[in-house]
């Protein structure tokens, strides 16, 4: 049995890079490609296992520690748990797909090559790209279907209101003074305070919406300060949502 270390290293590096890049796209991470490159190199530390005789428990612990290092190098501490979870998710999907397709070689080891190692290498890389592409495509499709709904925490007058929000692409309402976007909520949250009146026009109907400046708004662990809370005269109930988020938020969520 021959093991071509250069091929094994390159294969391991490319697959790690593809997985990390998939995490970057799916979670919209802002990590630079150079960090993903370095994270992929970090993943190549597992190659030393080829020369060490260790039991399965230590092997699992070592691989887990390496995966943590990969995520920290690639994306930092921000959204660490989510990044790590998706790293494992894509890895499992990729490995499971190869197992399902029975893409194995001598001794059932994907990292063992014979004379046709170049063909095996190309098949593995192209297969990885195709499988990760399908995952990203389906994930984006699923997210587009359900991602318009968010848990919205509004901090107003030292109280917190948790609502289900819905992003409405037609909600482009902004106040004419500081260009702050407006989150529309039901009148039941209305409090006695000094209102900011924002004019609106819809279907040839004009009017003003009373608004308040919240202490802060948190959506998906992201804090929004440059916005207003507008109190709608009509009860809001869009697929169970009780507040309408501005279209501008879609760019940041």
What are the structure tokens assigned to 240, written together? 């169970």
Helix (H) or strand (E) holding 98: helix 80-100
65 and 46 Cβ atoms separated by less than 8 Å: no
Q: What's the pLDDT band for 112 if we cut at 50, 70, 90? A: very low
Both tokens of 154, joined, read: 């509004």
Mean pLDDT, range 106-114, rounded to an integer: 46
Lowest mean pLDDT across 16-20, 135-139, 246-250? 246-250
- Kindly report the backbone phi and psi dihedral angles of residue 95, in degrees, each rounded to the nearest multiple of 5, phi listed first: -65, -40
Which residues, including other chains, have CB under 8 Å from residue 66's CB and lie 6 or more apart?
Answer: 42, 43, 45, 46
Nearest Cα neighbor of 167 from 190, 184, 142 is: 184
Question: How far is residue 151's CA from residue 70's CA, in Å, rounded to a whole number?
Answer: 30
pLDDT in tens, 55-94: 878 878 888 998 999 999 999 888 899 999 999 999 999 8
| Reported pTM | 0.55
DSSP letter for 47, please.
Answer: G
Q: Name the range with the highest mean pLDDT among 27-31, 163-167, 190-194, 227-231.
A: 227-231
């Amino acid at each position: 049995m021959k093991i071509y270390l250069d091929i094994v290293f390159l294969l391991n590096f490319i697959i790690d890079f593809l997985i990390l890049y998939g995490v970057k796209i799916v979670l919209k991470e802002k990590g630079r490609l150079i960090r993903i490159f370095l994270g992929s190199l970090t993943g190549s530390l597992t190659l030393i296992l080829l020369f060490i005789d260790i039991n399965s428990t230590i092997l699992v612990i070592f691989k887990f520690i390496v995966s943590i290092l990969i995520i920290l190098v690639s994306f930092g501490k921000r959204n660490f748990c989510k990044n790590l979870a998706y790293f494992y998710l894509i890895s499992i999907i990729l490995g499971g797909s190869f197992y399902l397709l029975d893409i194995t070689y001598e001794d059932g080891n994907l990292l063992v090559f014979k004379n046709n190692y170049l063909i095996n290498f190309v098949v593995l890389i192209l297969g990885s790209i195709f499988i990760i592409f399908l995952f990203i495509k389906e994930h984006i499709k699923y997210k587009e279907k359900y991602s318009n709904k968010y848990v919205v925490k509004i901090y107003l007058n030292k109280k917190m209101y948790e609502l289900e929000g819905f992003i409405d692409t037609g909600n482009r309402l902004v106040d004419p003074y500081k260009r702050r976007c407006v989150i529309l909520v039901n009148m039941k949250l209305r409090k006695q305070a000094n209102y900011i009146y924002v004019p609106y026009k819809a279907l040839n109907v004009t009017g003003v919406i009373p608004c308040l400046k919240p202490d802060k708004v948190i959506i998906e662990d992201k804090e929004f300060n440059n916005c207003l809370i507008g109190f709608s005269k009509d009860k809001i109930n869009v697929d169970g949502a009780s507040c309408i988020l501005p279209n501008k938020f879609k760019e940041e969520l």
